[in-house]
């Protein structure tokens, strides 16, 4: 038996397997290096029997659990904040698009617009030569116009229904205490809303312009292959 085989047997011994090999014992008698290693292995086994794992300090588990719970709460709060910001951004974009479309598609009269007139064409400032934008922006504008139309339609319908119900309700109540309303003199319900919308969209005009410019810039930066696809 050579020293390598003796070392392998020593490892088996340290793995906890019993070794009954007379050759090994013979080798240990002859080889002082292997004999001293075997003695050291016996000492290592003795030491490992007395070896105790380090005990965690008292209260460590509570501290860990507390920190974990704190971290969970923080993560949850952060997620909620992100969600709220995303929602607010989406609402702002939809509102800006709606107001912009409402403002652009309306003449100065008081009657509500027919739906056909609400469709938009892309805005062009006179004297500017921006052909690539003309090619791309109609798609964007058309989509936005559809969204705007839907919102305007819904709003007008709701207001008209409310007014109709009010008229019926007021005429059916025979009470002298109620003030007399000239119901026929009530104008279109959408008028004050439209006026308010006009004011807001004028205020938001710089925002919508910047957004439009940003979108145009982004579309211009796209490679030609992607645009054709």
- Is the separation of the CB atoms in 197 and 104 below 8 Å? no
Exactly one of 17, 48, 177, 185 binds another protein (CB under 8 A); which one?
Answer: 48
29 in contact with another protein (CB under 8 A): no
Q: Which stretch binds another protein (CB under 8 A): 47-55, 90-98, 112-120, 139-147?
A: 47-55
The CA dihedral of 121, 123, 124, 126, to the nearest 10 degrees, is 110
What is the spatial distance between Cα 29 and Cα 35, in angstroms, rounded to a whole number? 7
Distance of CA 39 to the CA centre of its chain: 65
Distance of CA 204 to the CA centre of its chain: 25
5 in contact with another protein (CB under 8 A): no
| Closer CB to another protein, 59 or 127, in the complex | 59
85 in contact with another protein (CB under 8 A): no
Residues 136-175 that bind another protein (CB under 8 A): none
Q: Which stretch binds another protein (CB under 8 A): 51-59, 94-102, 131-139, 210-218?
A: 51-59
17 in contact with another protein (CB under 8 A): no
CB of residue 39 vs another protein: minimum separation in angstroms? 5
CB of residue 2 vs another protein: minimum separation in angstroms? 16
- Is the separation of the CB atoms in 193 and 159 below 8 Å? yes
Rounded to 5°, angle at Cα 89 from 204 and 143: 70
**How far separated are the first and last CA of the chain, in Å rounded?**
76
79 in contact with another protein (CB under 8 A): no
Q: How many CA atoms lie within 13 Å of 122's alpha carbon, on the beta-carbon side?
A: 18
Tokens read off for 19: 């070794």
Which positions touch another protein (CB under 8 A)? 7, 11, 14, 32-33, 35-37, 39-41, 43-44, 46-48, 50-57, 60-61, 63-65, 67-69, 71-72, 75
């Amino acid at each position: 038996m050579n020293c390598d085989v003796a070392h392998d047997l020593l490892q088996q011994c340290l793995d906890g397997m019993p070794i009954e090999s007379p050759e090994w014992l013979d080798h240990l008698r002859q080889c002082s290096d292997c004999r001293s290693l075997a003695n050291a292995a016996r000492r290592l086994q003795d030491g490992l029997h007395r070896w105790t794992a380090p005990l965690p300090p008292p209260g460590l588990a509570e501290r860990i659990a507390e920190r974990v719970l704190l971290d969970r709460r923080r993560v949850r709060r952060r997620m909620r904040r992100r969600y709220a910001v995303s929602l607010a951004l989406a609402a702002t974009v939809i509102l800006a698009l709606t107001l912009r479309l409402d403002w652009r598609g309306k003449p100065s009269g008081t009657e509500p617009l027919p739906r056909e007139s609400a469709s938009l064409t892309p805005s062009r400032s006179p004297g500017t030569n921006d052909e690539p934008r003309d090619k791309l922006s109609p798609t964007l504008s058309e989509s936005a116009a559809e969204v705007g139309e839907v919102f305007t339609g819904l709003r007008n319908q709701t207001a008209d229904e409310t007014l109709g119900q009010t008229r019926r309700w007021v005429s059916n109540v025979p009470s002298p205490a109620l003030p007399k309303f000239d119901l026929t003199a009530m104008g279109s319900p959408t008028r004050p809303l439209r006026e308010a919308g006009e004011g807001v969209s004028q205020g938001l005009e710089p925002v919508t312009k910047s957004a439009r410019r940003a979108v145009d810039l982004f579309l211009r930066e796209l490679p030609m292959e992607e645009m054709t696809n």
